[in-house]
Amino acid sequence: MPGFILHAGATVLCSHGGQAQPTSVNPRVTVSGQPIATLPSPYAIIGCALPPPPGANGPCVTAQWVTAATRVTSMGMPVLLFDSQAICAPTGTPLIIAATQPRVTAT
């Protein structure tokens, strides 16, 4: 299923409201003037509101993507899409993609 390509300026949040940003981007391809994100790059999370142990198992620190485009790659790596899924560590909760560029799609 096609989806909009995720780029460095996309709004990505952990389930508890923390801001997530890619630790590295692919500068070879840009959309809306910003480099895209690819599957192997983890995201760093800041501002997660989930309390640390013993109150909970938070806060979210990083997230690793588990799904991406199946047919579109950049430099041999699948590009991330608006419907891509990621798991946060150490909480095991998903990332939420709130907004991305609305012009370029991939499958």
Torsion of CA 7, 71, 26, 13, to 10 degrees: 30
Cα separation, 11 vs 19, in Å, equals 8
Q: What is the pTM of this model?
A: 0.93
**Domain assignments of the chain as residue spans, ordered by start:** 3-102
> Is the separation of the CB atoms in 106 and 71 below 8 Å?
yes
CATH 2.60.200.60 fits 3-102, yes or no: yes
pLDDT of the residue at 38: 97
pLDDT of the residue at 98: 97
Intervals of the chain under pLDDT 50: none
**Exposure string over 45-68, b if 16+ CB within 10 A, otherwise e:** beebebeeeeeeebbbbbbebeeb
